Amino acid sequence: GLNYHYGLFRQSFSDMKQTEQPDPWLSDDRSWLTDTGISFPVKFADFSLNAKMYDIGVPGYHNGISNALHLFDIEEPAEAPENGISFDKSDIRHHLTSFLYPDDSDQAGHLLRIYQQYFMVSAAAQLILYELEQRGFKPQELAERTVVHINDTHPSMIIPELIRLLTLRGIEIDHAIDIVSRTCAYTNHTILAEALEKWPVSYIEQVAPQLVPIIRDLNARAAAKCPQSELAIIDDQDLIHMAHMDIHFGFSVNGVAALHTDILKESELRRFYEAYPDKFNNKTNGITFRRWLMSCNQALADLVTQYIGEEWKKDAAKLADLLDYCKDDNLLDELVAVKHKNKLALADWLSRRGHDDINPDSIFDIQIKRLHQYKRQQMNALYAIWKYLQIKKGNLPQRPITLIFGAKAAPAYTLAKDTIHLILCLSDLFKNDPEVSPWLRIVMVENYNVAAAMQLIPACDLSEQISLASKEASGTGNMKLMANGAVTLGTMDGANVEIAELVGQDNIYIFGRSSDDVIEMYRTNEYNSSDFWQDDEVGSLVDFIISPQLLKLGDPSSLSRLYKDFIAKDYFMALLDLKEYIRVKETSLADYENTKVWASKMLVNIAKSGFFSSDRTISEYNRDIWHLN
């Protein structure tokens, strides 16, 4: 990887809008970051940089094994930016490793991303061959001794770069391509077209022109095998499709949830699946229970151990032993007590961050994930408006509700930032309305990150997993929340499908159109959001975005832009599923009042979460793809 100096960004809220500042995760104390003294030259079109290698130790769990994460950095990184997260993206020599995922809304940002990617893969490829040769093996043995796993398309240039380095070692091009094709495997992490990188050939020529002849050669070879234009590596717009290169010249292609892999095979990558059916396989994502249960929720971990022993800590599948206690009143009572303790702790944590008077006896309804329209935080906000209007009419809920959001919006993603603005405006409106605040509150957690997640996840009652069906590859937040006893409210999307199959319909709340329906609606352009807006109930919720109450609090241009998008576009179909979402959420809130039944749902979710251990995921990767001894 790259030794980034600043994370995505540090989020703060000013005038109920997101602002971004640098997030310097590399502190002055870098005792955990080891300078290996190893470096590799990386040649770009107009200059070269040395890639210095640093290591971070990654210890195993009680097994005496520690691996190393290799991170590459430039020799003369720039000082901290003086103006937020803005910096000179053309100053590659000093800013190549400054930021994780720098803004790529312009050409300079695109080129910087390519510089970052080539710097990483060139250094990594040189390291791989160096280690191979140091162990006494020949470059020709690469495929027998090494697996290179291309995790999403960011490292895709490893394929032409390894081919280039092998030919420099005297290996004939046909043989080099064969070796690399037996070395590289590819994981697809997304269904969104925007995340499947396509770079103009001219951009690669500006950054790493030495790769262009190799990529053109690979394109010609792919076309000879698969002449269909939609399978080309270089299309008729002279764009290089990185995923296409990975599929043609890798030996394995996997999705990260059963539904995701099915969609890849049947829709998004169907032609590739027809050409290479044996390459495709599924590897459902997983989480580490050492962090997401043992570390972040010690009280629950101790309770689990009290009833089923220690084995689950190394074999999460053993959590299924909890199913023997689904009707054990003692365990269910203790489980409810642990959840309440965690809610008290979260309320205190939030209070210290400016969110006063959070009621720990309210239901904690939590949606925590990056802000993107396909994840549909905007639909959750419309529910909040619906509930607000119900309370104003005198229809009080059985129990107070606290809606908690945690999300960062990409700095150039205007509608995502507008959604944050709407949520913050609603939060202010509810908090300052004495008729509403005892019954309904919104909390938008500032600078949501892993540390915040470790506070939020143990306290969650209802886990919001409401992406538009067919758009979420997998998700892992759904797994973390499930393992901590949250009950899922979600669509049949991503790993929600497997969660539903595991826990059964009585222990999850499912709503929304199916992925097949959604895919068909996109194909036929059938969805028209204005048709749904004309429904009186739906329309009143959307119209509230530009109501006098909100326009008085917020930025009219931001709120109006979001309002117009709902009516004219709503690309991720929030209005399509909205009424069913409200109905099913209301059912879940009513069910929460039966404490014993809800506690049983919690226990089933914890017991069934063991399938989603990253130990299982990694074992399957090794069994089917890596074949490591």
For residues 602 and 451, what is the distance between their CA atoms, to the nearest angstrom?
Answer: 23
What's the distance, CA 266 to chain centroid?
23
- Distances 14 to 371, 421, 516, 554 between C-alpha atoms, Å: 18, 10, 41, 11
Q: What is the helix (H) or strand (E) element at residue 490, kind and residue range? A: strand 487-490
Q: Which DSSP string corresponds to 113-178?
A: HHHHHHHHHHHHHHHHHHHHHHTT--GGGHHHH--EEEESSTTTTHHHHHHHHHHHTT--HHHHHH
Starting at the edge strand found earlier in the chain, the sheet holding 462-465 runs: 440-445, 401-406, 363-368, 462-465, 487-490, 509-510
Catalytic residue (one of 97, 476, 488, 617): 476
Q: Are the C-beta atoms of 102 and 112 separated by less than 8 Å? A: yes
Rounded (5°) CA angle 204-206-212: 40
Catalytic residue (one of 314, 341, 370, 579): 370
For residues 629 and 364, what is the distance between their CA atoms, to the nearest angstrom?
Answer: 45
For residues 283 and 620, what is the distance between their CA atoms, to the nearest angstrom?
Answer: 7
For residues 616 and 287, what is the distance between their CA atoms, to the nearest angstrom?
Answer: 9
**Residue 327 among the catalytic residues:** no
What is the distance in angstroms between the CA of the first residue and the CA of the last residue of the chain? 24
Catalytic residue (one of 241, 244, 283, 369): 369
- Distances 200 to 91, 101, 549 between C-alpha atoms, Å: 21, 19, 47
- Distances 446 to 451, 503, 553 between C-alpha atoms, Å: 12, 33, 19
Catalytic residue (one of 10, 52, 164, 189): 189
**Residue 189 among the catalytic residues:** yes
For residues 563 and 611, what is the distance between their CA atoms, to the nearest angstrom?
Answer: 41
**Residue 375 among the catalytic residues:** yes
For residues 245 and 159, what is the distance between their CA atoms, to the nearest angstrom?
Answer: 8
Q: Are the C-beta atoms of 293 and 301 separated by less than 8 Å? A: yes
**Residue 369 among the catalytic residues:** yes
Read off the amino acid at residue 76. E
Q: Are the C-beta atoms of 468 and 380 separated by less than 8 Å? A: no
**Residue 370 among the catalytic residues:** yes
Q: Are the C-beta atoms of 405 and 377 separated by less than 8 Å? A: yes
**Residue 513 among the catalytic residues:** no
Burial class (CB within 10 angstroms; exposed 0-12, middle 13-18, buried 19+) of 595? exposed
- Secondary structure of residue 282 in the 3-state scheme: strand
230: DSSP letter: G
Output the furthest CA–CA distance in the chain (Å, rounded). 80
For residues 249 and 229, what is the distance between their CA atoms, to the nearest angstrom?
Answer: 17
Catalytic residue (one of 343, 375, 408, 471): 375
For residues 548 and 452, what is the distance between their CA atoms, to the nearest angstrom?
Answer: 34
Known catalytic residues? 189, 369-370, 375, 476, 480
